[in-house]
A = this chain, B = another copy of it.
Amino acid sequence: MEVDFFQLKRVSEAQRIFLEACPQGPLGYESVALLDATGRVLAEPVRSQEDLPGFDRSTVDGYAVRAADTFGASAALPAYLRIADDIPMGQAANRPLGPGECARIATGGMLPPGADAVVMAEHTDLIAGDEVGIVRPAAPGTNVIRRGEDCPAGGVLVEAGTMLRPQEVALLAHAGVTRVKVARRPRVAILSTGDELVPPDTSPAPGQIRESNSFALCGLVTASGAEPVLLGHAPDEVAAIRAKLQAGLAADVVLISGGSSVGVRDMTAAVLDELGPPGVLVHGVALKPAKPTILAVAGTKPVVGLPGNPVSAHVSFLLFVQPTIRRLLGMAPFQPRWAAIRARLSKNYPSAAGRVDVLRVALVERDGELWAEPVQGKSGLISTLTSANGMVIIEETQEGLTAGQWVDVWPI
């Protein structure tokens, strides 16, 4: 009999059911030194204790002026100002600027009281030792970073749930924040199952292959901001799988990969279900590849049964596990659409309506345009993943894609 995809859970429905049953993070907090904070997720908003910068700063080399003194200045009719001061870098400019006065200032220097603009050295003529001719008028604020312009006192420097990039770390340093409270990294236990699998450091006998999914999952978990915990391997036996899963529940999330045959999938689902309540929430998704994905929750711990095929496991990870990890970190579960790369599909790709198809593609530039070329190959071939650098998600409502059509490519 044909598989009826309409009996399976839709991807969006499966994601909604599963995420609703998972706890909202962060799972806990830790305080880390700022230099170790890049890539971590901020657990609470950080506000500035003070105006940043704490004083009006020049953005150029030139002369701090009262802008009003420069109005109407031109090369033909310069405004002549007396150089009343030379502002040393890194020190307070305490001497107020009187009318008709200016002060020599370098990039980053502090404007003196009374000054409200800086004229670039290039827009001046030095007339004598203590007089300068301004040849262009400056509006108030010209070439000045005003006190508090980077962030006012009490303003939010970085919002909670932000994965810190180098620039956020720099802004926090600028504000004097040297330790930050970040979300604890979820611990994700990884178990691989299958009677045909042997460890990578052994030579497989005929009928056996080396286990590789836990290696890919380890990297995917780390890249998602979580911490992998390897549970090793279990044969396709209820007792062995149950024991490993019970141990895995010491972690925050459990992934079990393997068993693509129907009998083994059903056995895995039964073992996952008895871990509940609530147990198995979704068994089978209208998704190609990765249809036999199992989504379960044991108490509050998400447990995902990933297909044994490497491509299916990768797809299932990206659609179900990564959003869960993001949620447990206190982030929005899904990446914004802008994280996808727009490219044109190089050839027609048929797919059935009513299910999500995930297509591996290689991005190539041709004739100045970016093309996504489908990578052919069975979902048991890891080499089709190493040849690809992106995935295209074909929604349930679409019946295939047309050559030349623009698509969103999610980098892998």
Chain B residues within an 8 Å CB radius of A405: none
Judged by a CB distance under 8 angstroms, whether A169 is at the interface is yes
Could you tell me the distance between the alpha carbons of A2 and B121 in the complex, rounded to whole angstroms?
10
Q: A38-B222, A166-B223, A381-B145 are in contact. Are A107 and B197 (CB under 8 A)?
A: no
Give the size range of A's interface with the partner.
35 or more
- Could you say which residues of chain B place their CB within 8 Å of the CB of A365? 336-338
Complex Cα distance, B209 from A170, in Å, reads 12
Rounded to whole angstroms, the CA-CA distance of A251 and B380 in the bound complex is 44
Query: In whole Å, how far is A178's beta carbon from the nearest beta carbon of chain B?
Result: 5
Number of copies of chain A assembled together: 2
Contact bitstring A31-67, B, C-beta under 8 A = 1, else 0: 0001100100000000000000111010101000000
Contact status A107-B308, CB under 8 Å: yes
A395 near B: Cβ within 8 Å? no
Chain B residue nearest to A53 in the complex (CB): B209
Contacts of A236 in B (CB 8 A): 89
Asked if A393 is an interface residue, CB under 8 A from chain B, the answer is no
Please tell me if A210 contacts chain B, counting CB pairs below 8 Å.
Answer: yes
Cα–Cα, bound, A34→B388 (Å)? 21
Question: Which residues does chain B contribute within 8 Å of A54, judged by CB atoms?
Answer: 204, 206, 209
Instruction: Check A220 for interface membership: any CB of B closer than 8 A.
Output: yes
A106 lies within 8 A of chain B by Cβ = yes
Enumerate chain B residues within 8 angstroms of A382, measured Cβ to Cβ. Answer: 150, 167, 170-171, 174
Residues A385 and B170 in contact, CB atoms below 8 Å apart: yes
* CB-CB contacts below 8 Å: A141-177 with B: 145, 149-151, 157-158, 165-177
* A61-B261, A341-B342, A370-B338 known; A200-B177 Cβ under 8 A: yes
**A264-282, CB under 8 A of B: which get 1 and which 0?**
1000000000000000000
Q: Is the CB of B363 within 8 A of A338?
A: yes
Whether the pair B381, A35 counts as a contact (CB closer than 8 A) is no
Complexed CA–CA distance, A100 and B387 (Å): 39
Contact check, B150 vs A174: say whether CB atoms are below 8 A apart. no
Given A167-B386, A207-B109, answer yes or no on A145-B201 (Cβ-Cβ < 8 Å).
no
In angstroms, Cα B198 to Cα A54, docked, is 13
Contacts of A131 in B (CB 8 A): none
State whether the Cβ of A129 lies closer than 8 Å to any Cβ in chain B. no
Return the CB mask of A204-219 against B: 1 if under 8 Å, else 0.
Answer: 1111111111011111
Q: Which 5 A-B pairs have the closest CB atoms?
A: A166-B219, A106-B261, A90-B196, A170-B216, A92-B206
Contacts A34-B200, A61-B261, A176-B210 aside, 12 further interface pairs with beta carbons under 8 A come to: A38-B218, A88-B195, A93-B207, A110-B206, A151-B383, A167-B388, A169-B216, A169-B218, A173-B200, A174-B209, A174-B212, A176-B202
User: What are 9 inter-chain pairs, A to B, with CB distance below 8 A?
Assistant: A107-B261, A157-B386, A167-B388, A169-B218, A173-B200, A173-B212, A176-B210, A177-B200, A342-B370
